[in-house]
Structure 1
Amino acid sequence: MITHLKMFGVALKYVFQRPITVRWPEERRDYGDRIRGFIINDRTKCISCQLCEAVCPAKAIRFHLEADGKRYPGIDWGRCILCGYCVDACPTGSLRHINNTEIVWTDLNVYRKPNEMDPDDVSPIVGTKSLV
């Protein structure tokens, strides 16, 4: 009986607090500048050194041959843990994080395409709600 009263007290305490969740996609959380979002590649800076593939602990980066004859990194988003080791290892700075963490795919095979790493394809989304 005491346990039930304690549970009722906890429930009553939280009834009068404002909701913690946000109404996505109308509202978005503002995570600040230090968030590690998805990784994009500026192909004009990429020298195909393959250091990013070597340091990836999840083995999510694979290089592929493009039509221009150069090898570029492609990220398997199903394996990527967004650790940022590839961004840190890139000597030219062609790989970088963006603050967009809300990318939606309609097909499971779409996220394996390396074209989504292009900076022109992804734009940051500004948050409307703070975390506090």
Structure 2
Amino acid sequence: MSAHLKLFVVAVKNLFERPWTVRWPEERRDYGDRVRGFIVNDRSKCISCQLCEAVCPAKAIKFHLEENGKRYPGIDWGRCILCGYCVDACPTGSLQHTTDVEITWRDLNTYRKPREMEPTAVSPIEGTKSLV
């Protein structure tokens, strides 16, 4: 009987608390400045050392030959776990995290080629408010 009473007390207490969920995409959570979000590559700094591919535990990074004859990394976001090992391993700092964490696609092709990972190609979704 005491277990039922404890459950009732918890239920009454939760009636007066704010919900933990948000109405996405109208509302956004504020994750702070140190969040590990979408990864971009500044190809002008990339030396094609392939260290990022070697340290990726999810095997989400693959290198592609581009028009200028150099190989650049592309990321499969269906596999990426946003661990940041590739960013830490990059000796020139060409791979960087952005603060965009809400990554969505309209199809099942989640692989992004190197030219789609430029810092100018990534922008937050407009017209929404962030929770403070």
Normalising to structure 2: TM-score of the pair? 0.88
Choose the corresponding residue for 1:129, options 113, 128, 131: 131
Whether the 8 Å contact between 2:74 and 2:111 is mirrored in structure 1 is: yes
Give the Cα–Cα distance (whole angstroms) in 2 for the partners of residues 10 and 52 of structure 1: 48
CA contact (8 A) 1:31 1:127 kept: no
Partner of 1:103: 103
Q: Secondary structure at the match of 1:120?
A: helix
| Residue 115 of structure 2 is aligned to residue 113 of structure 1 | no
Letter in 2 for 1:118: E
**C-alpha deviation, 1:85, in angstroms:** 1.0
Relative to structure 1, is the Cα distance of residues 58 and 127 closer, same or farther in structure 2, using a 3 angstrom cutoff? farther
Offset from partner CA, 1:60-107 (integer Å, 9 cap, x none): 111011122211101111111111111111111110000101121111
Whole-Å separation in 1 of the counterparts to 2:124 and 2:35: 12
Aligned counterparts of 2:97 and 2:124: Cα–Cα separation in 1: 10
Counterparts of 2:74 and 2:47, CA distance in 1: 14
Deviation of residue 42 (structure 1)?
0.8
User: Which stretches of structure 1, 4 residues or longer, exceed 6 Å deviation after superposition?
Assistant: none
What is the distance in 1 between the residues matched to 2:112 and 2:75?
A: 8
- Equivalent residue letter for 2:36: R
Contact 1:29–1:129 (Cα < 8 Å) also in 2: yes
1:72 maps onto 2:72 in alignment: yes
Cα distance in 2, alignment partners of residues 56 and 19 from structure 1: 36
> 2: distance between equivalents of 1:78 and 1:26?
24
Match of 1:27 in 2: 27
Equivalent pairs: percent with the same residue? 73
Contact 1:42 1:95 in 2 (8 A): yes
Instruction: Give the alignment's Cα RMSD to 1 decimal.
Output: 1.7
2:48: which partner in 1? 48
Gaps of 5+ in 1: none
TM-score by length of structure 1 reads: 0.88
